Chains A and B, each alone.
Chain A
Amino acid sequence: MRVELYNLLTRRTVLKGGAAAAALGVAGAAGVLPKSANADLRAELLKIPGVNMGSPTDADWQKVGELCMGSTKATVQQGEFKGVELTFMGLNNQNLHNLLFRGFLKPWEAYTGAKINWIDLAQADYNPRLQQAIATGTVDFDIVEMGAPFEGDVCGKGLASVMPDWVKQQIEMDDYVGYLKAPVGTWEGKTYRISIDGDCHNFNYRTDYFSDQELAAAWKAEGHQGEWGVPKTWQQVQEVTKFLKGKQVAGQDAYGYLDPIKPWGGFGFYFLGSRATAYAKHPDDKAWLFDADTMKPRINNPAWVRAIQDVIDALPYEPADQLNADPNTTGFSQFLAGTGAMCSWWGDVGSNAKTNDSSVIGDVCGFSILPGSDDVYNSKTGKWDKLASGPNYAPNMAYIGWGIYVMARVDSDSKKQKAAWSAAAHLGGKDISLWTAAYPSGFQPYRNSHFNVPEWVAAGYDEAFIKSYLDSEGNSYNHPNAAIEPRIPGIFQYYSVAEDELNKIWSGGSDAQTGADRIAAAWEKITDEIGRDKQIALYKASLGM
């Protein structure tokens, strides 16, 4: 690819009699130049605006977009898409996503001549807008920022454009971490998705809490087992959470684990999932949310009920307003702002800890994969197993990350199709992804090349911090017992119904088992409404079974 690009560039440059210096600049950005030039580009990217230099601005995003134009310039001639208008649908929450894309794509628009119109959606509005467009045949966008869970709705119904080979080469798909490779992003053997994110929930904790000598002494004095330290299992998380109630750290009330309780358009369910995977995802069974052969829900099996009960038990020890705290409040207004010792979240907590203006925990934040469990429920035998290898770990690959998809409606116009894929490839390029992984963007590391610690250290990150963060991400992605989310149609309907029932449980309206049974009944109804046989087939396909 790189040699081809080089040939293309030099031939064009010579033929057109362009300035050699310009060609070199372009080639350098495309990664054609010797490795050191590309390394310089990546180093330069990581310094925009620089670690501990405050939140990046639109000017920074445009600068990043401009620096990463090399690969586009190698495949698209200047002004080639003049007159083409594309509509891009994506999120606008937390001031990121579409706002970021606007900045990244400004140089692309200036170079190619295409114009992009934007449809901005809040996270909670995303699912209904997409579903309505699909169901009513009114897809009014050419490019969409979408999570893998929606692939069943979009790709399964033939609404997406198949990725051309040149795009695969331009974005260097081989660099993706293992779990983002096929079958994720593919449907019936065809590739549709440009990954721009690699979601999983990791475990974020406060290092100052777990190195506090007074707490260590109190831990011993109260007769707890083992040394005071970061919990490795959910059983320990519960114990630590209860222990911290009523204590103080740095003059402030101490709290243990933070559960995001308030419904969040279905996305809040992931947080119960993160508590449940260690109990429910058995290493010998790929399925963990439904029985793969029947779509019978597992939400009311002993593993999930134990996770629900854990939340019920922990809530009295969490901040008093936890019942009205959604995931955003928990991750950003509480944990990053200094409340609580532990929380599960997507990688955003890590990428914001040192680069977000409102974070106060940049120097005291540590990371690991999600806690495990001393035993794991075996759905096939109906018994709890203790593994010979020790606690069962099962990182929750919640949402499987955002991707960029091009809609099939552009396929009838080759110029528009190329423009759409070029814009998508620009956003999903290898170098630009390094920046999005390192700065507040809503996206976390998802390529093998993101796990190069010295690159981050050179950018100004503290080595211990960044190693801890990257290990928590990489070890989650590569974990052999990772819990992969089902990419089945209507998955957020299941989650949303569950949120309502869980909310009732958390506020004391029903016990864990009764509530879980109600969720299971509602899920069965949804499966029948959507079509059980197709859901079974898609669920199996999504798990690679």
Chain B
Amino acid sequence: MPSRAALSALSEAAAVTAGVSLRRVQDGKRIITLATIGFVVVVLMQILFDAGLQPYGFENWRPILYAYVLWGIALGFGLVRMRGAAGHRALFVLPAVLFTVAMVIFPTFFGLYIAFTDWNLSSFEGRRFSGLKNLYALFADPYYRNALANMVFYVLMVLPQYAIAFGLALLLNADIRARKFFRVAFLLPFMLSPVAVSWMIGKSLMEYRFGPVAKLMREIGWDNPAFFTSPWIAKFSIAVMDAWVWIPFIMIMLLAGLQALPKELSEAAKVDGASKWQAFWQITFPLMLPVSVTAIVLRIIFQLKLADIVINVTSGGPGGATDTVSSFIFREYRDRSNVGYGTMLAEFYLIIIIIFITLLLHWVSRWMRKMH
């Protein structure tokens, strides 16, 4: 195994080969090292100051953000000095990497820390480390379990959405009149914010007293068309609104897939005397499987985040029947200022989603391999 010094020498040799002088390489290294040491020292000083272990520090954490930006600039500058053209190429990626670290990776890990604290915003003592207390509370929380169970229902609802979307995609792929108009028209619900849909549909069209849908239901014999007062009707009503927003998304993906299919295959099937159903089931559907799987997986990921329609229309009611994990976390965090526990719920849910999606993708890819 080569020594560290030997590796360093190799990398310097590579740089020299790439047209960068040894002096520039060393300059670049110095810049990066100094900037990193400076940044780490500032962060450590602020952490110790915040913990009351030393007297010098900033009033708030904003200067640390500025230090991070400066460190990022120094890193970019150092890379260019060290690697020349390769360093310039790295500059295209570096801002995105640093932004992702700051806005996604750091908050996720910081959230993990918060999840193990007792942090009620009204508490006089502020944030306190509480070990596994929040985790135990989560397992014992009937509202969380209820929301998870509801998520199973909402995720299963993706399948009928897919079936409807496939039908619409086939229709829009066929030679029908005003096809362009219908393509735009069917996409409109997807362009609307779910919050707007909550008000337009949930709180207006489906309103018990004056809503046109409620009136129509009365006309056809439903005496009390209350869409959000009995658990299963409320659950299906939310699922219908959600479907209205998201079916166009699946539909447009499937339509793109249908248009990419080679026409020769369906024409050959026709010549061979296949019926329309046989052509669809034996040719179109299997060929569309990769697109279908992508659409369904993406849709499930979106579905696991369902919250806005529920929050606006039912607040999770009646009795938690429509609650989702996200809407429950929203209440726990927003209404009860229970930051520690709310964050634990969110982090735990993130882990469940990661495991579920990984398993789903693994299973789908095995199934696809088997099919082909």
Does A107 have its Cβ within 8 Å of any Cβ on chain B?
no
Given A131-B121, A489-B122, A530-B122, CB of A321 within 8 Å of CB of B335? no
Does A500 have its Cβ within 8 Å of any Cβ on chain B?
yes
A504 cross-chain contacts in B, Cβ below 8 A: 319-320
Does A28 have its Cβ within 8 Å of any Cβ on chain B?
no
Given A135-B337, A324-B314, A490-B337, CB of A534 within 8 Å of CB of B124? yes
- Distance between Cα atoms of A526 and B126 in the complex (Å): 14
Contact B337 A324, beta carbon cutoff 8 Å = no
Tell me the dominant secondary structure on chain A's binding face.
Answer: helix
Does A127 have its Cβ within 8 Å of any Cβ on chain B?
yes
Please tell me which one of the listed residues B209, B316, B321 contacts residue A263 in the complex, with CB atoms under 8 A apart: B316
Shortest distance from the beta carbon of B204 to any chain A beta carbon, whole Å: 11
Residue of A nearest to B214 (CB): A321
Shortest distance from the beta carbon of B222 to any chain A beta carbon, whole Å: 10
A323 cross-chain contacts in B, Cβ below 8 A: 226, 228-229, 317-318
Which positions 108-167 of chain A face chain B at CB distance < 8 Å?
124-125, 127-128, 131-132, 134-135, 137, 153
Contact with A along B184-195 (1 / 0, CB 8 A): 000000000000
Shortest distance from the beta carbon of A469 to any chain B beta carbon, whole Å: 26
- Distance between Cα atoms of A244 and B122 in the complex (Å): 45
Contact with B along A198-236 (1 / 0, CB 8 A): 000000000000000000000000000000000000000
Contact A492 B320, beta carbon cutoff 8 Å = no
Please tell me which one of the listed residues B122, B125, B208, B231 contacts residue A493 in the complex, with CB atoms under 8 A apart: B122
B316 cross-chain contacts in A, Cβ below 8 A: 263, 500, 503
Does A251 have its Cβ within 8 Å of any Cβ on chain B?
no
Does B123 have its Cβ within 8 Å of any Cβ on chain A?
yes
Contact with B along A243-264 (1 / 0, CB 8 A): 0000000000000000001111
Does B143 have its Cβ within 8 Å of any Cβ on chain A?
yes
Residue of A nearest to B313 (CB): A324
Given A507-B231, A531-B124, CB of A500 within 8 Å of CB of B320? yes
A326 cross-chain contacts in B, Cβ below 8 A: 315
Please tell me which one of the listed residues A132, A337, A507, A526 contacts residue B120 in the complex, with CB atoms under 8 A apart: A526
B36 cross-chain contacts in A, Cβ below 8 A: none
B335 cross-chain contacts in A, Cβ below 8 A: 124, 127-128, 265-266, 492-493, 496
Tell me the dominant secondary structure on chain B's binding face.
Answer: loop
Residue of A nearest to B208 (CB): A321
Contact A262 B120, beta carbon cutoff 8 Å = no
Given A333-B209, A489-B122, A490-B122, CB of A324 within 8 Å of CB of B318? yes
Contact B123 A506, beta carbon cutoff 8 Å = no
Shortest distance from the beta carbon of B98 to any chain A beta carbon, whole Å: 24
Contact A497 B336, beta carbon cutoff 8 Å = yes
- Distance between Cα atoms of A262 and B126 in the complex (Å): 31
- Distance between Cα atoms of A500 and B125 in the complex (Å): 27
Which positions 167-199 of chain A face chain B at CB distance < 8 Å?
none
Contact B121 A135, beta carbon cutoff 8 Å = yes
Shortest distance from the beta carbon of A529 to any chain B beta carbon, whole Å: 4
- Distance between Cα atoms of A323 and B315 in the complex (Å): 11
Which positions 299-337 of chain A face chain B at CB distance < 8 Å?
319-324, 326, 333-334, 337
Contact B337 A531, beta carbon cutoff 8 Å = no
Contact B124 A493, beta carbon cutoff 8 Å = no
Does B60 have its Cβ within 8 Å of any Cβ on chain A?
yes
Shortest distance from the beta carbon of B189 to any chain A beta carbon, whole Å: 23
- Distance between Cα atoms of A496 and B333 in the complex (Å): 11
Which positions 100-128 of chain B face chain A at CB distance < 8 Å?
118, 120-126
Which positions 226-279 of chain B face chain A at CB distance < 8 Å?
226, 228-229, 231, 234
Contact A263 B317, beta carbon cutoff 8 Å = yes
A506 cross-chain contacts in B, Cβ below 8 A: 318-319
Residue of B nearest to A322 (CB): B229
- Distance between Cα atoms of A490 and B124 in the complex (Å): 10
B123 cross-chain contacts in A, Cβ below 8 A: 490, 529-531
Contact A125 B229, beta carbon cutoff 8 Å = no
Does B338 have its Cβ within 8 Å of any Cβ on chain A?
yes
Does B224 have its Cβ within 8 Å of any Cβ on chain A?
yes
Does A352 have its Cβ within 8 Å of any Cβ on chain B?
no
Interface, chain B (partner A; CB < 8 A): 60, 118, 120-126, 143, 208-209, 224, 226, 228-229, 231, 234, 313-321, 331, 333-339
**Subset of 17 A-B contacts with CB under 8 Å:** A124-B334, A128-B337, A132-B337, A135-B122, A135-B337, A262-B314, A263-B331, A320-B208, A320-B226, A324-B234, A326-B315, A339-B209, A490-B122, A493-B338, A503-B319, A507-B321, A529-B120
Beyond known contacts A322-B229, A324-B229, A490-B120: 7 more, CB 8 A cutoff: A261-B317, A265-B334, A321-B228, A323-B229, A496-B331, A496-B335, A504-B320
Which 8 A-B pairs give the minimum distances between C-beta atoms? A507-B319, A490-B122, A321-B208, A507-B318, A496-B335, A320-B224, A135-B121, A324-B228
